[in-house]
């Protein structure tokens, strides 16, 4: 997707996101956060959006959230202030292709329904691998394209409208798996109908 289209699309979605796409993807977010609560310490959420997941993180964690959309971030900041979410350290506007963090900064990185939205997803995955600590986890929930069936047809028909919808309906999982510093640790489907996928990737540990 074009980066300007991302900003425009999510400025349009921001006022209604929680009640629409946010509600549809709630189960995936809860699964991802439950995993992170059991395994994480210093967490980066890429594409934090309106902050729907922030209240569900364990208060013992240290959470940083980034998003390209100023409108979505404004909603997230409102939630943090209204609910007193002290575990959320920073919410920053940032392009995920250029993460403004040092190497090996986070032990856990979350991407919940965002990797099929960003321009140059391979570049985003490379940046995530860079800022993830060796042995750290990258937790992803997302829709990935199907090879066959009715839903595969729907994905192909809606693919030309990616900039309007704000996401790629025909996004392939292989795009995420090309980063050679990350390997698949867990993979499962998320109800209903397995439309979404839950992935945990692990960054290679440093050589002794």
Mean pLDDT of the chain: 82
Residue 93 domain boundaries: 3-203
How large is the average pLDDT for residues 150-156? 44
| Confidence class for position 158, pLDDT limits 50, 70, 90 | very low
Q: Give the model's pLDDT for residue 21.
A: 53
Q: Express each pLDDT in 114-136 by its tens digit.
A: 898 888 999 999 999 999 999 99
- Tell me if 74 is assigned to some domain: yes
Q: Give the model's pLDDT for residue 108.
A: 98
- Tell me if 167 is assigned to some domain: yes
Q: Does pLDDT of 23 surpass 80?
A: no
Q: Give the model's pLDDT for residue 193.
A: 62
- Tell me if 52 is assigned to some domain: yes
Q: Give the model's pLDDT for residue 190.
A: 85
For residue 198 the two structure tokens come to 């839950």
- Tell me if 208 is assigned to some domain: no
Q: Which residues pair with 200 in a beta bridge?
A: 139, 186
For the chain, the domain total comes to 1
| Confidence class for position 207, pLDDT limits 50, 70, 90 | low
Q: In what order do the strands lie in the sheet with 106-112?
A: 88-93, 62-67, 42-46, 106-112, 132-142, 196-203, 182-190
- Tell me if 59 is assigned to some domain: yes
Top mean pLDDT of 92-96, 155-159, 194-198 is at 92-96
Q: Express each pLDDT in 190-204 by its tens digit.
A: 876 667 889 999 999
Q: Does pLDDT of 63 surpass 60?
A: yes
For residue 140 the two structure tokens come to 């992803």
Give the lowest-confidence range in 5-19, 61-75, 138-152: 5-19
Question: Please, what's the b/e burial string for 102-114 (b: 16 or more CB within 10 A of its CB; e: otherwise)?
Answer: eeebbbbbbbbbb
CATH number of the domain encompassing residue 161? 3.40.50.150
Q: Give the model's pLDDT for residue 45.
A: 98
Report d(CA 26, CA 35) in Å as an integer.
14
- Tell me if 64 is assigned to some domain: yes
Q: Which residues pair with 201 in a beta bridge?
A: 138, 184
Strand residues in 38-174 grouped as ranges (E): 42-46, 62-67, 88-93, 106-112, 132-142
């Amino acid at each position: 997707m074009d980066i300007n289209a991302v900003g425009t699309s999510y400025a349009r979605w921001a006022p209604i996101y929680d009640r629409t796409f946010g509600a549809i993807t709630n189960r995936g977010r809860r699964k991802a956060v439950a995993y992170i609560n059991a395994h994480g310490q210093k967490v980066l959420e890429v594409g934090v959006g309106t902050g729907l997941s922030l209240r569900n993180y364990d208060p013992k964690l240290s959470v940083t959230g980034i998003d390209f959309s100023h409108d979505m971030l404004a909603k997230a900041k409102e939630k943090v202030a209204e609910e007193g979410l002290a575990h959320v350290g920073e919410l920053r506007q940032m392009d995920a292709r250029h993460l403004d963090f040092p190497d090996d900064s986070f032990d856990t990185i979350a991407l919940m329904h965002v990797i099929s939205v960003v321009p140059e997803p391979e570049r985003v995955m490379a940046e995530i691998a860079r800022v993830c600590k060796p042995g750290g986890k990258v937790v992803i929930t997302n829709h990935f394209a199907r090879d066959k069936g009715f839903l595969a047809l729907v994905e192909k028909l809606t693919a030309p409208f990616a900039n309007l919808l704000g996401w790629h309906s025909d996004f392939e999982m292989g795009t995420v798996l090309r980063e050679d510093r990350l390997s698949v640790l867990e993979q499962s489907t998320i109800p209903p109908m397995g439309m979404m996928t839950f992935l945990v990737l692990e960054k290679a540990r440093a050589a002794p």
